[in-house]
């Protein structure tokens, strides 16, 4: 019996060694998302418990690495020049996503130096490769792989090839391409998912965009799953008109193209846009699958996620960092993530208990006042006074003050961005005043709404007063900077003195912005 067990162990060992030295098939689907290159690598191999990828000379470009295998997610670990994934169990199919920061733009000329893994360490491979979303027909100046060119509506300009690779093979392509349509970088997305009915959820994506070039980056293209419905697009200047954006269904995606009304005008400038969607909720027994990690066709380095439920929710897969109540809704803060697509993000399930929807306030008011009047017919004195207090309490609501203050903060930031464009001569004074007036009118409208809300929320009045003082400080500093710029243009102030005073005012403006952020966070807490 002992000999039989030893023979069986030896046979398994030999089988494992033979499998480890066998070939694998590998598919590389890489798309440009300037300044990033996102590589999706599908690996089919003999059963393995870990997988290593050679990134010699390019480890410093790696910003994110995650693998999906056997229904679980695994983050990659860098060991010297090697990226390693440990699965803890034998798997035969692995889907890897690498995000590398390896694209640069000088003017409108894009330079891409792309490392392309062709085989894992320890395994030879047969591979296929496509590198797509290039802005124009590429000029390949260096390539260790044989590649053909092409163009399609889905991939735009692309390079494609196939071949075989020795173990640990790492291809390399260097190319130049001309940027025909400047687009901003997505720096951050604040995503709020609102659940108030059983079948669908409302998703509000609040994008913070950053300019890539020293010229307007005026077009933003987003690719959502085809299951979503785009309801509205809005920016600091208000809702976008129907001709301000387009929605197109292409294969399994919904493509949204937005012509930004207030785009970033230089590298590093910020801009903001909101997209409102409707998405179905898939139900499994008593649980709902929450569409929290829908991809947008871009790598998102910072996704802040909140779920807002008219009622209560018990989550599975992620634990809320904190929760609070806003009117009829309970809000759950689920934290911050990096996101490529839904496949490489955690699944989020929740048992949702929806509260009955309240009738409109004017109906509630009418009913309560009628009840109070009827009670007054029979009651006197203190009992009637108690009924009046109950009427007032019933009519009180807790509006979404935080959302209004967040929009006001973004408007103040946009005012500063436009002043910088004025200073650089990229915006005429007339155009600047027009934009300034529109933004200030919107900010004043929001301020009045916030004041009205604070009347019903005495506990928020002090915070709102602090917020308004900081806004006043920021606007005062901006006005002084504009006056200094006017004097400098007329030669009434030396350049060195102008720079010193503007730098000081910018610092005070930034301090006021920090106060705005602190007040908002305080109200959330």
Coil/strand/helix, residue 47: strand
What's the mean pLDDT in 110-130? Answer: 97
What is the number of alpha carbons within 13 Å of residue 370 lying toward its C-beta?
Answer: 6
In a domain, 64, yes or no: yes
> Where does a domain end: 395, 416, 446?
395
In this structure, the answer to whether residues 51 and 164 fall within a common structural domain is yes
Question: For the chain, what is the domain count?
Answer: 4
In this structure, the answer to whether residues 213 and 299 fall within a common structural domain is yes
Range from 62-71, 100-109, 322-331 carrying the lowest mean pLDDT: 322-331
Q: What are the tokens at 474?
A: 């920021």
In this structure, the answer to whether residues 159 and 36 fall within a common structural domain is yes
Residue 477 sits at the vertex; the CA angle it makes with 474 and 478, to the nearest 5 degrees, is 85
In this structure, the answer to whether residues 152 and 192 fall within a common structural domain is no
Residue 164 sits at the vertex; the CA angle it makes with 163 and 170, to the nearest 5 degrees, is 100
pLDDT at 77: 95
In a domain, 376, yes or no: yes
> Mean pLDDT, the chain, as a whole number?
85
DSSP sequence for 201-246 = EEEEEEEEEE--SSS---EEEEEEETT-EEEEEEETTEEPPGGGEE
In this structure, the answer to whether residues 316 and 269 fall within a common structural domain is yes
In a domain, 7, yes or no: no
pLDDT per position as a tens digit, 28-82? 999 999 999 999 999 999 999 999 999 999 999 999 999 999 989 999 999 999 9
Q: Which helix H or strand E contains 104, and what residues bound it?
A: strand 103-106
What's the mean pLDDT in 216-223? Answer: 94
User: Is residue 289 scored above 50 in pLDDT?
Assistant: yes
220 versus 370: which is more confidently predicted?
220
489 versus 302: which is more confidently predicted?
302
In this structure, the answer to whether residues 113 and 191 fall within a common structural domain is no
Report the CATH number at residue 311.
Answer: 2.60.40.1730
Q: What are the tokens at 488?
A: 């400098």
> Where does a domain end: 374, 395, 416?
395
What's the mean pLDDT in 346-371? Answer: 62
Q: How confident is the model at residue 15 (pLDDT cuts 50, 70, 90)?
A: very low
What is d(CA 19, CA 14) in angstroms, rounded to the nearest whole number? 9
In a domain, 2, yes or no: no
In a domain, 514, yes or no: yes
Question: Residues near 130 by Cβ (< 8 Å), separated by ≥ 6?
Answer: 28, 29, 30, 155, 158, 159, 160
pLDDT at 85: 97
Range of the domain at 55: 21-178
What is the DSSP code (8-state) at residue 456? H
What is d(CA 63, CA 83) in angstroms, rounded to the nearest whole number? 12
Q: How far is the CA of 159 from the CAs of 28, 179, 306, 387, in angstroms?
A: 12, 17, 39, 75
In a domain, 389, yes or no: yes
223 versus 432: which is more confidently predicted?
223
Q: How confident is the model at residue 523 (pLDDT cuts 50, 70, 90)?
A: confident
pLDDT per position as a tens digit, 21-38? 467 999 999 999 999 999
In a domain, 16, yes or no: no
In this structure, the answer to whether residues 164 and 32 fall within a common structural domain is yes
User: Is residue 98 scored above 60 in pLDDT?
Assistant: yes
pLDDT per position as a tens digit, 362-409? 334 333 444 444 344 333 334 434 433 333 332 333 446 888 888 898
User: Is residue 202 scored above 60 in pLDDT?
Assistant: yes
pLDDT at 525: 61
pLDDT at 278: 95
Q: How far is the CA of 333 from the CAs of 279, 308, 325, 345, in angstroms?
A: 20, 9, 11, 17
> Where does a domain end: 354, 383, 412?
354
pLDDT per position as a tens digit, 230-278? 999 998 888 899 889 999 988 789 999 999 988 988 888 889 999 999 9
pLDDT at 44: 96
In this structure, the answer to whether residues 37 and 74 fall within a common structural domain is yes
In this structure, the answer to whether residues 160 and 25 fall within a common structural domain is yes
Q: How confident is the model at residue 358 (pLDDT cuts 50, 70, 90)?
A: low
In this structure, the answer to whether residues 345 and 367 fall within a common structural domain is no
Contact (Cβ atoms closer than 8 angstroms) between residue 230 and residue 256: yes
In a domain, 309, yes or no: yes
In this structure, the answer to whether residues 125 and 27 fall within a common structural domain is yes
Q: Based on C-alpha coordinates, what's the Rg of the chain?
A: 29
In this structure, the answer to whether residues 227 and 264 fall within a common structural domain is yes
Secondary structure of 475-524 as H, E, C letters: HHHHHHHHHHHHHHHCCCCCHHHHHHHHHHHHHHHHHHHHHHHHHHHHHH
Q: How confident is the model at residue 327 (pLDDT cuts 50, 70, 90)?
A: confident
Q: How confident is the model at residue 517 (pLDDT cuts 50, 70, 90)?
A: confident
Task: Give me the percent of the chain exceeding a pLDDT of 70.
Answer: 87
pLDDT per position as a tens digit, 434-484? 888 888 888 898 898 888 888 777 778 888 889 999 999 999 999 999 999
Report the CATH number at residue 120.
Answer: 2.60.40
Burial 280-309 (b: 16+ CB within 10 A, else e): ebeeeeeebebbbbbbbbbbbbebbbbbbb
Q: Which of 315, 209, 301 lies closest to 263 in space, CA to CA?
A: 209
Task: Give me the percent of the chain exceeding a pLDDT of 90.
Answer: 54
Q: How confident is the model at residue 359 (pLDDT cuts 50, 70, 90)?
A: low
């Amino acid at each position: 019996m002992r000999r039989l067990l030893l023979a069986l162990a030896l046979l398994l060992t030999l089988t494992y060694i033979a499998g480890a030295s066998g070939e694998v098939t590998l598919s590389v689907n890489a798309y440009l998302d300037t300044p990033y290159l996102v590589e999706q690598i599908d690996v089919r191999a003999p059963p393995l418990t870990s997988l290593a990828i050679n990134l010699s000379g390019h480890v410093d470009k790696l910003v994110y690495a995650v693998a999906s295998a056997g229904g679980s997610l695994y983050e990659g670990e860098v060991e010297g020049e090697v990226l390693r994934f440990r699965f803890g169990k034998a798997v035969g199919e692995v889907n890897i996503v690498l995000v590398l920061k390896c694209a640069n733009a000088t003017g409108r000329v894009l330079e891409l130096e792309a490392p392309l893994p062709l085989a894992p360490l320890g395994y030879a491979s047969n591979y296929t490769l496509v590198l797509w979303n290039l802005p124009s027909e590429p000029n390949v100046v260096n390539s260790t792989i044989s590649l053909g060119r092409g163009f399609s509506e889905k991939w735009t300009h692309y390079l494609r090839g196939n071949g075989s690779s020795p173990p640990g093979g790492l291809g390399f392509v260097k190319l130049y391409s001309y940027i025909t349509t400047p687009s901003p970088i997505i720096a951050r997305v604040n995503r709020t998912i609102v659940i108030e009915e059983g079948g669908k959820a409302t998703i509000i994506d609040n994008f913070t965009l950053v300019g890539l070039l020293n010229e307007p980056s005026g077009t933003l293209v987003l690719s959502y799953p085809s299951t979503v419905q785009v309801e509205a697009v809005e920016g600091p200047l208000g809702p976008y008109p129907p001709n301000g954006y387009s929605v197109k269904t292409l294969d399994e995606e919904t493509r949204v193209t937005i012509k930004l009304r207030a785009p970033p005008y230089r590298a590093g400038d910020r801009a903001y846009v909101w997209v409102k969607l409707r998405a179905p909720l898939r139900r499994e027994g008593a649980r709902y699958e929450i569409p929290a990690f829908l991809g947008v066709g871009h790598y998102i380095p910072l996704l802040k996620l909140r779920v807002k439920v008219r009622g209560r929710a018990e989550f599975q897969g992620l634990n809320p960092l904190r929760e609070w109540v806003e009117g009829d809704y309970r809000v759950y803060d689920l934290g911050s993530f990096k996101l490529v697509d839904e496949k490489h993000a955690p699944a989020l399930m929740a048992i949702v208990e929806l509260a009955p929807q309240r009738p409109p306030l004017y109906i509630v008011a009418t009913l309560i006042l009628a009840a109070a009047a009827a009670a007054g017919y029979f009651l006197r004195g203190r009992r009637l006074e108690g009924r009046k207090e109950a009427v007032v309490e019933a009519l009180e609501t807790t509006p979404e003050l935080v959302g209004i203050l967040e929009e006001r903060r973004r408007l103040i930031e946009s005012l500063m961005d436009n002043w910088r464009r004025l200073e650089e001569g990229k915006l005429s004074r007339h155009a600047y005043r027009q934009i300034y007036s529109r933004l200030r009118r919107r900010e004043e409208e929001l301020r009045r709404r916030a004041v009205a809300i604070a009347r019903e929320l005495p506990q928020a009045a002090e915070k709102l007063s602090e917020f308004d003082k900081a806004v006043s400080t920021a606007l005062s500093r901006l006005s002084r900077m504009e006056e200094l710029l006017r004097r400098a243009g007329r030669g009434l102030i030396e350049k060195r003195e102008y720079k010193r005073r503007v730098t000081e005012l910018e610092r005070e403006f930034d301090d006021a912005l920090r106060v705005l952020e602190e007040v908002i966070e305080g109200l959330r807490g």
